[in-house]
Structure 1
Amino acid sequence: MKPYESNGATKVIGRTVLRPREQVEETIRAAILSGELKSGEMLPPEAELARQFNVSRTTLREALRVLTSQRLITKVPGARGGNFVQSVDYHSLGAVMSESVENLLALGTIHFDEVADVRQLLEVPSVRLAAVNRDAEELARLAEIVGQQKTASVDDPHIPELDREFHTLIARASGNRVLASFVAALHHATEPVHYLDLSPEVGRDTVKQHQRILRAIEQQDAAAGEEAIIEHLTYLQRHISAHRSN
């Protein structure tokens, strides 16, 4: 019999055989990513899964630990607990990124200014895209947020959340879900309002800048939106730098 050959070279038909734990991981991962296992769905009990895969409970738990670390599943303790499929969408991407950035900031392996700079770089195209792609519902909510900001006092505990929602909603209105995830994650990690000396004057200036950004998005004027967000972000950065140096 002739050997398997192609152009004089031995044809490669083999592939690496996975260990039992890796086979379990790959099978469950594929079921999640294909949609066979839905977001929020509970996996069968561990004893049943071990029986289905014909592996030991130890091997199964090792596989589940890896999938948990990859944020594909989450383990809920208690009598009604179990292993559940995590949400796998652009919101979960933002959550993973936000936590990672916050950990790196806490460890000191990256600096606040680095994160703030990247966030600002991403917010400029998000405003330009939002001016083109925003829908009526997003526009109405942005107007509602700015209206609430106009009437809020500087010590209102809702100010940080309103600011976060304003910027992240613009990013969502861009129509680019990856961009929206990144802006939301980086804005959450830096939380610019917490680094501002929120005097009444700064509060008024910030709201006026938000109004300009909103007006540009409403009028679908991408160039005006870019100019307004750059003015706003430059203002924030100047005041944040001054506040953090004190």
Structure 2
Amino acid sequence: MAMKANGDAPRKMIGRTVLRPREQVEETIRAAILSGELKSGEMLPPEAELARQFNVSRTTLREALRVLSSQHLINKVPGARGGNFVQSIDYHSLGDVMMESVDNLLALGSIEFDEVAEVRQQLEVPAVRLAAANRTDEHVQQLTAIVERQKTASVDDPEIPELDRQFHTLIARASGNRVLASFVAALHHATEPVHYLDLSPSVGRETVKQHQQIVRAIQRQDPDAGETAVVKHLTYLRRHITAHRTR
């Protein structure tokens, strides 16, 4: 069999796209942050020094820093003692980034409220099941304290939305899954179900009663009872929210 001529042999690909100076600065700083070379909360060198190190203009450097800031990897603090600081990279920051993104998409009309609310409710079922399995005594005490405060608060108490947020996000944290906790917290913030309820005294009492049932299931470490209670609660909320929003 005849050998292929050298000209017909497959060519080895050794080249790759050469990054522009701004992209090179971004990639280098991003890699330093993600590798841990730059620690959470650490201040980057002054911009003039960074521009000298990268051998780029101050304008190019600032463009790169703006991109990194938009990606929530660094935070620019103004003032004499300010500078560019590495953002905290943990599950809390994951929730913050997601919260901001969902809020922006809702404000722009790119996604619908009902879509976000549906996903949040779907995530709260496994959150309760995991919380029933993994909760600590401290989690139960904190949930009980929140419900006790809800029982004594009037429906027009401005603290009600915050108590509701604390209740649902604490259950998600008790699940032991930090990614799930971040998602539930972000989506609950975006939908804030209490704001969309016609919160009459009867609705308020029923909501607290349902919260108590959820806490009892978590306390008994009964995931099936927890799922039943949270599905009942979320179905009730959704029905009342839909009725209130379509008026």
TM exceeding 0.5: yes
Which amino acid is the alignment partner of residue 136 of structure 1?
Answer: D
Distance 1:109 1:63 in 2: 27
Tell me what 1:25 maps to: 26
1:23 positional shift? 1.5
Tell me what 1:172 maps to: 173
Q: How does 1:19-58 map to 2 (within 5 A)?
A: 19-58=20-59
1:18 positional shift? 2.2
Question: Larger deviation: 26-35 or 222-231?
Answer: 26-35
| TM-score (norm. length: structure 1) | 0.93
Over the aligned positions, Cα root-mean-square deviation in angstroms equals 1.5
Q: Secondary structure at the match of 1:103?
A: helix
Q: Secondary structure at the match of 2:72?
A: coil
| TM-score (norm. length: structure 2) | 0.92
Tell me what 2:152 maps to: 151
Residues 136 and 36 (structure 1), Cα distance of their counterparts in 2 relative to 1, 3 Å cut:
farther
Which amino acid is the alignment partner of residue 169 of structure 1?
Answer: L
1:26 positional shift? 1.0
1:27 positional shift? 1.1
Deviations 1:18-42 (A, max 9, x none): 2221121111101111122122221
Which amino acid is the alignment partner of residue 99 of structure 2?
Answer: S
Distance 1:199 1:19 in 2: 59
Q: Secondary structure at the match of 2:92?
A: helix
Q: Secondary structure at the match of 2:84?
A: strand
Tell me what 1:67 maps to: 68
Distance 1:191 1:115 in 2: 11
Distance 2:60 2:47 in 1: 11
Deviations 1:84-120 (A, max 9, x none): 1112111111112112212222222221111111111
Distance 1:94 1:83 in 2: 22
Distance 1:59 1:243 in 2: 51
Q: Secondary structure at the match of 1:110?
A: coil
Distance 1:198 1:62 in 2: 48
For structure 1, which runs of at least 5 residues remain unmatched after alignment? Answer: none
Deviations 1:12-70 (A, max 9, x none): 33333322211211111011111221222211100011111122111111111111111
Tell me what 2:124 maps to: 123
Tell me what 1:103 maps to: 104
Q: Secondary structure at the match of 1:10?
A: coil
Q: How does 1:87-236 map to 2 (within 5 A)?
A: 87-236=88-237
Distance 1:243 1:12 in 2: 61
Question: Larger deviation: 224-233 or 132-141?
Answer: 132-141
Q: Secondary structure at the match of 1:100?
A: helix
Which amino acid is the alignment partner of residue 12 of structure 1?
Answer: M
Distance 1:122 1:97 in 2: 15
Which amino acid is the alignment partner of residue 94 of structure 1?
Answer: G
How many residues are paired up? Answer: 240
Q: Secondary structure at the match of 2:85?
A: strand
Superposed structure 1 runs of 4+ greater than 4 Å apart: none
For structure 2, which runs of at least 5 residues remain unmatched after alignment? Answer: 1-5
Q: Secondary structure at the match of 1:83?
A: strand
Q: Secondary structure at the match of 1:37?
A: coil
Q: Secondary structure at the match of 1:9?
A: coil
Deviations 1:129-166 (A, max 9, x none): 11111122222211111111112121221111110010
